[in-house]
Amino acid sequence: MDFSGKIDRFMVTLIDKGAYTKVLAGLRNTVTIAVVGLLIGIMIGTLIAIIRVVPKNNPVVRVLDKLATVYVAFFRGTPIMVQLLLGYYILFPLLNIKLSSLVVCVLIFGFNSGAYVSEIMRSGIQSVDPGQMEAGRALGFGYGRTMMKIVVPQAVKNILPTLGNEFISLIKETSVVNFVGAMDLYNAFSYIGSSNYEFMVPYLAMALIYIVMVLLITGLIKLMEKRLRASDKR
């Protein structure tokens, strides 16, 4: 069968037989997992980054710092697929928490992203002039409040482009969520492939969707960077 025939059959399955709903569901999951995962990651990452940069002058902070180090080492040192499997089949069942596979994916992606974002955020915080913290303290703000109101906002601005790259990684990594039974693009296109006994076109289409998403996000980041540079010159 020639290539255009393959495309025709793909289109028939996709549209006339309604497989597009599966694709849309997969796309929705991919975006949900990446977006919510990144948001959770930013929250966890900011917390960890702060724990790692605060002066270590009390034992509680030192313990938290050690825990944070272990956390980051684990999530950066194991593949996300392994983390998904551990979470879905071991951690949450052990804790007796029943969650849909999508929610598990969102959480694990959030935890995983937290480890990466913490490193990004830490360098962002360290890139902010220490004079900013001093000025806040000198006014009478505590360490935490100065951090949240003055330092972190500036750090976030510095690391926005890097966070964008983290988002792109998340989008691409969502291609493993089918291991715990969440519907994703791979599921959707595999379904089309197996109903037609033809995998080339579906998988090419899948690659195309990923590329388009990534290019879109890259474009958005570029735009954001440009805006930020302009606002610096203000």
Partner 1 sequence: MISVKNIYKNFGKLEVLKGVSCEIDKGEKIVVIGPSGSGKSTFLRCINLLEHPTYGEVWVDDDLVTPVDPYLHFDVIKVSDTYKKLFAAAKAQGTGQSDDELSTDIIMKIKREDLLKKHEGKEYHALMKQIYKDNALNINLARQRIGMVFQQFNLFNNLSVLDNITLGPIKLLKKSKAEAEEKAYALLDRIGLRDKANAFPQQLSGGQKQRIAIVRALAMDPEIMLFDEPTSALDPEMVGEVLDVMKELAASGMTMVVVTHEMGFAREVATRVLFMDEGKILEENTPDVFFTQPKNDRLKDFLSKVL
Query: If we measure between CA atoms, which residue out of 38, 211, 177, 24 comes closest to residue 101?
Result: 177
* Position among 101, 132, 175, 187 found at the interface with partner 1 (CB under 8 A): 132
Closest separation in Å from C-beta 60 to partner 1: 12
Among 129, 161, 211, 222, binds partner 1 (CB under 8 A): 129
CA separation (Å) from 69 to 45, 52, 224?
Answer: 12, 8, 32
Nearer to partner 1, 126 or 154 (CB): 154
Per CB under 8 A, the list member of 15, 70, 138, 212 interacting with partner 1 is 138
Number of helical H runs and strand E runs in the chain: 11, 0
- Nearer to partner 1 by Cβ, of 46 and 178: the residue is 46
Q: Please check whether residue 37 is in contact with residue 166, taking contact to mean a CB–CB distance below 8 angstroms.
A: no
Among 137, 160, 165, 187, binds partner 1 (CB under 8 A): 137
Find the part of the chain contacting partner 1 (CB under 8 A) among 31-39, 124-132, 163-171, 203-211. Answer: 124-132
As a 3-state breakdown, the chain gives helix, strand, coil percent values, each rounded to 5, of: 85, 0, 15
User: What is the three-class DSSP state of 28?
Assistant: helix
For 91, the 3-state DSSP assignment is: helix
Q: Considering only residues 175-234, where is the footprint of partner 1 by CB under 8 A?
A: 231-234
**127 vs 194, which CB is nearer to partner 1?**
127
Q: Within 13 A of 222's CA, how many CA atoms are on the CB side? A: 6
Give me the residues that bind partner 1 (CB under 8 A), please. 129, 131-132, 134-142, 145, 149-150, 153-154, 157, 231-234
